[in-house]
C-alpha cells in the first residue's frame, strides 16, 4: 500500500523546503500521527509526505517527509535530540537531512564521457543541487572537460595490481575535499570491499541492463548477435557483490534487427545518461531508503 500526499503546486512554490525526514520501522498504528504531531509541535510545516508499507500486518513501514521550518542550527540539533525518544519507542531507523546544504560529489570516470557530460550539463543547468569539488579518472581523456568546468582533475592510473595503493590515494583526496558521495560515471575499475565500506550506500554506479546475460567485454556486440529486442540501463548503489547492489533506477528502449552494434551502443549510452542522472537527483533529494538489497524510492 503506497500513499503520496502533496500540497497544490502553487502553494508548494511559496515554501522553501529546508528539512527532510526519512524513517523506516515495523508497521504499527499511530506512526504517521506521531511524526506529524512532533513536527507540528516543533513549528514545522509539512509540504510533502510519501509513505509505503510492504505489509500492514507487521511488515515494514517507510516514510519521507519534507517540511519547512524557520529555525536556527542550534534548534535543529535540539529537534533531532528530542526526536530520539520517539525513534526509540517505535524502534525507528531514521535520518534528518537539510537540502539547503549541498552534498559534495566526487565523479569517477574512465574513457567513456557520455555520463560525465550529462551530469555536468544538469549540474551547470541547476538541475543537480550539489557541489562537484573534483573528478578522478584512470584516463587523461576527461581532463579538458573538467578544466572547462573549473573542476580539479586527478589522473590516477589504476589496475588490479595496484588497486589498494590507488584507492588509498583516492580516499585521501575524498577526505581532503570532504566528499559526501561518489558517482561512478562509467568508471571501469572494480572497487575493493575496504573502499566500498567507507561509503556504504553512497556510491552510485551505472551499467547496461543485459546482466546477468552478456557478462564481460563487448556486451552490445554479443547482444546484437543474440538479437535482443530491448536495450536498457541500471543505476544502483555499489556493494561488494559486483553490479548487484540495491537498484535505484532502470529504463529501457525497444530495438530490432535493423539496429547494428554501433546503434545499439548509442541507444544504450543515451539510456545510461538519463538513468544515472535520475538516480543522482533522487539521492540528492533524499528520496531513497535502502532496505536489504533493494530500495524504496519516493518519486
Catalytic residues: 243
Yes or no: say if 194 and 171 are a contact pair by the CB < 8 Å rule: no
Rg (CA), the chain: 21
| Rounded Cα gap, residues 151 and 10, in angstroms | 37
Query: Which residues fall within 8 angstroms of residue 212, CB to CB, at 6 or more apart?
Result: none
H-type helices in the chain, by residue range? 9-12, 31-41, 73-90, 114-124, 143-148, 163-176, 193-198, 219-226, 261-284
CA dist 198 → 50, 181, 182 (Å):
30, 10, 11
Place of cell 537531512: 97
Say whether 290 sits in a helix, a strand or coil.
strand
Is there a contact between 211 and 228 (Cβ–Cβ < 8 Å)? no
How far is Cα 285 from Cα 99, in angstroms, rounded to an integer? Answer: 7
Q: What is the DSSP letter of 281?
A: H
Amino acid at each position: 500500500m503506497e500513499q503520496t500526499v502533496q500540497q497544490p503546486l502553487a502553494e508548494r512554490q511559496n515554501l522553501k523546503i529546508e528539512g527532510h525526514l526519512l524513517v523506516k520501522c515495523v508497521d504499527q498504528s499511530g506512526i504517521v500521527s506521531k511524526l506529524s504531531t512532533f513536527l507540528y509541535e516543533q513549528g514545522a510545516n509539512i509540504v510533502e509526505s510519501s509513505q509505503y508499507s510492504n505489509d500492514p500486518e507487521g511488515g515494514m513501514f517507510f516514510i519521507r517527509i519534507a517540511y519547512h521550518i524557520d529555525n536556527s542550527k542550534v534548534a535543529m540539533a535540539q529537534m533531532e535530540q528530542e526526536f530520539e525518544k520517539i525513534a526509540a519507542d517505535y524502534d525507528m531507523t531514521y535520518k534528518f537531512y537539510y537540502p539547503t546544504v549541498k552534498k559534495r560529489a566526487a565523479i569517477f570516470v574512465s574513457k567513456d564521457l557520455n555520463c560525465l557530460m550529462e551530469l555536468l550539463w544538469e549540474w551547470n543547468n541547476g538541475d543537480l543541487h550539489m557541489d562537484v569539488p573534483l573528478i578522478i579518472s584512470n584516463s587523461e581523456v576527461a581532463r579538458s572537460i573538467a578544466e572547462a568546468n573549473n573542476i580539479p582533475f586527478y589522473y590516477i592510473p589504476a589496475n588490479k595490481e595496484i588497486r589498494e595503493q590507488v584507492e588509498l590515494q583516492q580516499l585521501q583526496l575524498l577526505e581532503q575535499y570532504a566528499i559526501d558521495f561518489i558517482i561512478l560515471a562509467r568508471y571501469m575499475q572494480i572497487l575493493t570491499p575496504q573502499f566500498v565500506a567507507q561509503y556504504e550506500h553512497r556510491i552510485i554506479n551505472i551499467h547496461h541492463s543485459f546482466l546477468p546475460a552478456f557478462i564481460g567485454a563487448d556486451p552490445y556486440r554479443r547482444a546484437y548477435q543474440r538479437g535482443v529486442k530491448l536495450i536498457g540501463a541500471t543505476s544502483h548503489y555499489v556493494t561488494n557483490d559486483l553490479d548487484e547492489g540495491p537498484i535505484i533506477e532502470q529504463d529501457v528502449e525497444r530495438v530490432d534487427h535493423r539496429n547494428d552494434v554501433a546503434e545499439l551502443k548509442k541507444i544504450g549510452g543515451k539510456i545510461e545518461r538519463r538513468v544515472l542522472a535520475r538516480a543522482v537527483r533522487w539521492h540528492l533529494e533524499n528520496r531513497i531508503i535502502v532496505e536489504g538489497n533493494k530500495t524504496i524510492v519516493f518519486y
